[in-house]
Structure 1
Amino acid sequence: MSGNNTMSYDLQGKVPLLAKFGFAMIPLSWVMQTMVITWQMFYFTTFVKMSVMLVTLMLTVGKVVGAIATPFWGYLSDRLYRTAFGRRFGRRRAVLLLATPLNFVFYMGLWVMGLPTWAYFAVNILYWASWAGITTVQYALPAEMTENTTQRAQIVGINQIAGAIGGTALSMLNIWLFTVWGKDDWDSYFKIALLWGIVGTVVLFIGFLTVQERPYDESTDVAEADSDSKAAGFLSVFWNFISAMRVKSYRVYLGMYICEQTFRAIRGTINTYFVMFVLLLDPQTVSLGTGVGFIFGMAFVAMWIWLTAKLDGMRTFRLGGYACILAFACMLGLGIFHASVSSGLRATLFVVFLILMNFGISGVVNATQFVFTLVPDVDEIVTSKRREGQYAGINSTLDVIFTAVETLIIGMVLSWTGFVEGATTQPAATVDWIMILYTVVPVVLVILGNIVSRLLKMTSANHKKVLAEVTRLRNGGDMKDVDDETKAVIEELSGFKYEQCWGHNNVINAAHKEKEGATA
């Protein structure tokens, strides 16, 4: 019934190399998204000649629509086993099959010149809506592919490495491509975008063919839990979105995740402007810095994989944060004193500080992604179902919302300070605010994330107790036989009284009668 795409290995054992390879293809497709993040705002303000406010409005609207689409992708993905299509291809792989071709078409539309403004708006909206399906699968699979925390740490590391390879391959090769095709004409960017669009689509298809997921069983039959819900259809999508927030571990994790994603998004959005207008370096330095940082980043990720497994994620999150704070402080100093440093030394220091920044960011990201893989296990003790897609959709939605707000705020700030579209230099006020956005704001967010991380009690020992209790109940155990220590851990991590767990609540089904209210 589940087809030959589902896992043929023990959830507590090692994940086969082919399955890991298949998963790696999904984040590798970020070569396309990296092109959009790095160059879209620059491309539209420089070549399409849109005002910075209009571009930021377009990007914001597209990201918001993508945010609205992600809960539907997650809800649909979790429930695809109810369909013959889902049982034939798998509930995650089926989403890849739907989203991949759509993503390529709309991605390429972003780089076509001569379209009316409304067409750019429409293509941008459709791109973000289709990309949401791919990110939903990417978020869902690490938790779904294994219950072994060491294997999960490895898969999270693979996610980082493959995503970094995607971004770095683009950045390093772009240095040569800009030399061959030039950097001052729109068609150079179109050709580069086409190259990465083809590469990204091919690797997604390879991932579709090789990745493995959980088979159809009682835990993955999520549709069964909401089949009698009065909040059916679209209303059920939003009920599941809101009710997932009731799981305490997820709420605390979200604080860490939002801080991490927001400071990285700000840095990514403003990075090109910081290099060109604050440090007064050329566009190739953007690509060179990213590429060199990646070479060191591979060793960093390998170290963080080991350290995260040893320290349970929370401490590695904070350690990575401290390194980020130091790196941003160095970048601030370089920005302030750039005039007294030669261009060659400025470029060298930028790369060195970027390596330090990559060290910190790789730790923060590794820890955050690892902790996320543990949340669906807590959700399963609450609902008795595997809802990785639901949480992947929520993550993508909140990511897009905060990124959209960040993009809009950046656009407003730059416009307010007198940003000049298509210019090679900017007013002093604009340069100062670019520097503040690139350095000071991320430091504030990193500090806030470190504070929030201390609220999550997801240790390795506590996680093992959750898994053991899920297994006991799945095998027909009685909830009345739970020991006091396990009960206390579950209540601490879930935010529910133990008696409310294992589906005795309305987290999935709004019409389900709930026992006593959840604990705070």
Structure 2
Amino acid sequence: MSRKDRKVTLRTSIGFGLTDIMGGGAFTIIGAWLLFFFTTFAGLSPVQAASIIAIARIVDAVIALFVGSISDNFFKYKLGRMFGRRRFFLLIGSPLMLTYVLLWVSGMNYWYYLFTYLLFEIIAAMVLIPWETLPSEMTKDFKERTKMSTSRMFLSGTGTFLATFVPGQLIAYFGDNNANAYLINGAFFAILFAICIFISYKSSWENKLSPEEEKAILEKANENKGFGETLKAIGSVLKEFATTFKIKSFRKHLGIYLFSFTGKDVFNTVFIYFCIFALGTSSTLGANLLSLSIIGIPVTILAGFLIVKVGPANLFKIAYSIMILCLIGFYVIYLTQPSSMIVLLFIIAGIYQVGRSILEFTPWNVFPFIPDIDEIVTRQRREGLFAAVMTFARKSSVAIATMAVGLLLEFGGFVEGSATQTPEAIHTIVYTLVIGTSLLLVISMCIAFTFKLNKKTHEILVDEIDRLKNNGSKADVNPKTKEVVESLTGYAYENVWPEDPIEKGNAS
């Protein structure tokens, strides 16, 4: 059924958003615990453990690039016409989520962990990239998309909370040195992720293609391609990926997203080490501090209101400012070791989660509007392409950051499996947490000051697209609209909305 025939209700938004229980939960667990699990229960050094995550993320990033393109063109296959070019991947991804439990088997070798982690990353990309395009498929209304994004991030916050709270309780029950806590945790979440993704499949729909679009896709599918033509087609796809960076708002959005999320990942990766070795507390306390992410659930609702009122750029600034102040607070606690340390840790960690939840909420609330900016330049809908590029860049940056953390820990003298560490290793942990995370957040904030996409500018852009679609003349554009279009796209107005849609790989 076409999106014109259906409305996005709260129930629909929740059903759609359940997949981010996996998106928020799985990678929160991986970010907070996998490196620690590898260096504690798998006998791997920090560099070995980090290399598994880095290699898997890079390989997966390359594969993820093509998932978006496959999704965009999946209608030409019978399965795509039966189940949807996006939703089909949710249907098959649901049972494959059960592979998540394989990550948490202790005592295996390096190659086992590399293979199982790579497998899960690929399955997750196969689900998340098509799923991320669904808001653009289901509605063009800013408020309905905001409702979907808010529901999604509310549920992502729920997943993040569960991903920190449940492991903490299992570790407290089994003990800090018992690997069964991690295995049971993995089994619980594998089943939960599978159920959530299937519900998202049942709750969503896709925009109905016009007869002309269907005919063009099917005719292209019937073309016979030799090896040379196949290589040429791959080159064309790669060129198409490059065209996304010509959209000014997307470049800024991607920079904000990468630096801020990588900063958050550095914090999550090092925080358990910080609690155990720098503060002398337990992994259970670290998990309980991270479980204050539950504060992000009501904050997400507030952020959904604020993004309309103050705009994405101001939300970014609020999030980063809060998090940087909290990082300074953690450093002060490390230096002073006050008698009320536990209370202060809970206060600062709670405030940090306010900023963290806003950081996670905003980029993916902005993302559904990026393809609209691209449309006025190319006259195409390329949601899958933009989702694939974002995923590729994100996975690549995480791979680099994780490898950097592993190298820093190793060169700082961290000894795997040891209950005590040298002062040099402890200093490395502290400075990685505080300085590393803060630096990445400061870079993101600088970019946010120049970000122009908000509710008002988006409405002006969409109105202009509708006017041009109804045979409006570019010569009749009003000055304000022209200014907005140019500021969002980075193109001179004369060069947008060409007479014919720009061919893939040739946008300029």
Q: TM-score, normalised by structure 2?
A: 0.91
1:482 aligns with 2:477: yes
Deviations 1:339-394 (A, max 9, x none): xx24xx32221121111111112223333222222211101111222211111111
Please show how residues 203-222 of structure 1 align to structure 2 within 5 Å. Answer: 203-217=196-210
Q: Is the CA contact (8 Å cut-off) linking 2:315 and 2:358 kept in structure 1? A: yes
Letter in 2 for 1:485: K
C-alpha distance in structure 2 between counterparts of 1:189 and 1:91, whole Å = 35
CA shift for structure 1 position 413: 0.6
Q: Is the CA contact (8 Å cut-off) linking 1:297 and 1:355 kept in structure 2? A: no
Structure 1 counterpart of 2:71: 77
1:251 aligns with 2:215: no
CA shift for structure 1 position 437: 1.4
C-alpha distance in structure 2 between counterparts of 1:145 and 1:225, whole Å = 23
C-alpha distance in structure 1 between counterparts of 2:213 and 2:62, whole Å = 24
1:62 to 51, 56, 62: 56
The 3-state SS of whatever aligns with 1:233 is helix
The 3-state SS of whatever aligns with 1:490 is helix
CA shift for structure 1 position 134: 2.2
C-alpha distance in structure 1 between counterparts of 2:216 and 2:424, whole Å = 55
Structure 1 counterpart of 2:444: 449
Going from structure 1 to structure 2, the CA distance change for 1:426 and 1:36 (only over 3 Å counts) comes to: same
The farther-off stretch of 262-271 and 161-170 is 161-170
For structure 1, the residue ranges without an aligned partner over 5 or more in a row are: none
Please show how residues 396-475 of structure 1 align to structure 2 within 5 Å. Answer: 396-475=391-470
* Identity in percent: 25
Q: TM-score, normalised by structure 1?
A: 0.89
Deviations 1:405-433 (A, max 9, x none): 11011111110011010112211111112
Q: Is the CA contact (8 Å cut-off) linking 1:466 and 1:486 kept in structure 2? A: yes
C-alpha distance in structure 2 between counterparts of 1:504 and 1:489, whole Å = 21
Greater share of helix: 2
Deviations 1:212-258 (A, max 9, x none): 33222389879759959977533233222111111111111122111
1:101 aligns with 2:100: no
C-alpha distance in structure 1 between counterparts of 2:477 and 2:123, whole Å = 44
Going from structure 1 to structure 2, the CA distance change for 1:137 and 1:287 (only over 3 Å counts) comes to: farther
Letter in 1 for 2:278: V
Q: Is the CA contact (8 Å cut-off) linking 1:219 and 1:385 kept in structure 2? A: no
Please show how residues 40-439 of structure 1 align to structure 2 within 5 Å. Answer: 40-105=34-99, 107-217=100-210, 232-294=232-294, 296-338=295-337, 341-342=338-339, 345-439=340-434
CA shift for structure 1 position 75: 0.9
C-alpha distance in structure 2 between counterparts of 1:102 and 1:237, whole Å = 28
CA shift for structure 1 position 143: 3.7
C-alpha distance in structure 1 between counterparts of 2:212 and 2:60, whole Å = 28
Letter in 2 for 1:501: V
1:496 aligns with 2:491: yes
C-alpha distance in structure 1 between counterparts of 2:218 and 2:253, whole Å = 25
Letter in 1 for 2:495: Q
CA shift for structure 1 position 149: 2.2
Q: Is the CA contact (8 Å cut-off) linking 1:100 and 1:204 kept in structure 2? A: yes
Going from structure 1 to structure 2, the CA distance change for 1:442 and 1:226 (only over 3 Å counts) comes to: farther
CA shift for structure 1 position 34: 2.8
The 3-state SS of whatever aligns with 2:42 is coil
CA shift for structure 1 position 17: 2.5
The 3-state SS of whatever aligns with 1:406 is helix
C-alpha distance in structure 2 between counterparts of 1:118 and 1:236, whole Å = 35
Q: Is the CA contact (8 Å cut-off) linking 2:375 and 2:381 kept in structure 1? A: yes
C-alpha distance in structure 2 between counterparts of 1:379 and 1:220, whole Å = 18
C-alpha distance in structure 2 between counterparts of 1:433 and 1:114, whole Å = 27
The 3-state SS of whatever aligns with 1:215 is coil
The farther-off stretch of 74-83 and 137-146 is 137-146
CA RMSD, 1 decimal: 2.6
Q: Is the CA contact (8 Å cut-off) linking 1:157 and 1:305 kept in structure 2? A: yes
C-alpha distance in structure 2 between counterparts of 1:117 and 1:284, whole Å = 26
Q: Is the CA contact (8 Å cut-off) linking 1:221 and 1:385 kept in structure 2? A: no
C-alpha distance in structure 2 between counterparts of 1:219 and 1:65, whole Å = 36
What is the total number of aligned residue pairs between the two structures? 500
C-alpha distance in structure 2 between counterparts of 1:424 and 1:87, whole Å = 56
Q: Is the CA contact (8 Å cut-off) linking 1:37 and 1:268 kept in structure 2? A: yes
C-alpha distance in structure 1 between counterparts of 2:21 and 2:73, whole Å = 26
